[in-house]
Amino acid sequence: MPASKWVGMIALVAASSAYCQNEPQQDIATLTFENDLFIGEDNGYTNGVYFSWAHGRWDTFDTDNLPDWLFHLSKDLYISTMPNKHRAVSYLIGQAMQTPNDISRQDLIVDDAPYVGVLIWQGSLHAYDDHVADKLSFAFGITGPAAGTKASQKLVHRIVGADDPKGWSNQINNEPVFRINAERLWRLVDIPVSGSVGFDLIGIGSVGVGTLKSNVATGFGIRIGRGLDSSFPTATVMPGREVNPLAGSVTRSWSVFFNVLGEYVANDITINGNTFSDSHSVPLEHWQAQAVAGVSFNWERWAFLLSAVAPSDRHENQRESGRFGSLSVTYHY
């Protein structure tokens, strides 16, 4: 996803690792809403809405569980050929937007981040066991007026009574975008605390390339809670935005987490502006860091996640923080 301040946090949510071959396929749906108003601000990354769905618990990928084009694209890749793994697939559609800090100005604010809207589709393949979880994602979308974010922000601001954004005429141009991203999670430490409550430490490595964003990232997450053993394989670096392919199958589990991520960002369309045409841009801060704190909770078929994200500056001379909050609801059907 395009904005680095909202693309990478190690939010670890509940899931299942009951890998019995005869268990039925899991079908999951997740709705996520992100907004800086959750933490009392209204600037920078301002809003995102994402719907995700997933299917999983297979030993292999084939044309019965993947679309033909995705199967043929991935059948010889590591995500499909690693032995002794369990597999799942997830999809995401979403819309996100970014504005300068002062949305009351109609003129171009040359020293602040541009107005950017993104409409995105993403498919992710998951391969995991008890200790290592891999994910390979393919994302395609469009930026600019065609993403429809001007109308979306104006509607949200009318609903919540916020200021009307005036500067969308300065947004970047229409442009197709893509991103390919590979992630790996390791469960490094697992310590029982009391009864069914435990503590763990999870490491992460991630690399992505595309016109949307290219970066290399590493980080770790600390969790305490119930059901941590079964929630590891489908943990995600997104704060609730990414669907959890097995969420909802571990009943009455919970966790409290704190996570950090550091990354080198080579390009980011939300800061650099359009790749193939001239548009407003500001100098990118290549070295970035992010932190997230939150809680997750599973009850029967439902899973909930609430988190707050605090990123470092994403461009030079950035005047305000880009903090935002995220609320995610998952249903297992």
Domain map of the chain by residue range? 4-332
pLDDT value of position 248? 45
Cα–Cα distance measured from residue 288 to residue 123, given in angstroms and rounded to the nearest whole number: 26
- Asked if 211 contacts 178 with a C-beta cutoff of 8 angstroms, the reply is yes
Nearest CA to 30 among 239, 293, 332? 332
Give 100's Cβ-side CA count (13 Å radius). 25
This prediction has a pTM of 0.87
247: left (phi over 0), alpha (psi -120 to 50) or beta: beta
pLDDT value of position 37? 62
pLDDT value of position 130? 82
- Asked if 101 contacts 319 with a C-beta cutoff of 8 angstroms, the reply is yes
pLDDT value of position 212? 97
- Asked if 84 contacts 60 with a C-beta cutoff of 8 angstroms, the reply is no
pLDDT value of position 233? 57
Q: In order along the chain (333 residues), what is the average pLDDT of each group of 10 residues?
A: 36 29 64 72 68 89 94 96 92 92 92 95 91 93 96 83 88 98 92 89 94 96 85 56 51 84 96 96 96 86 86 90 83 83
CATH no. of 4-332? 2.40.128.140
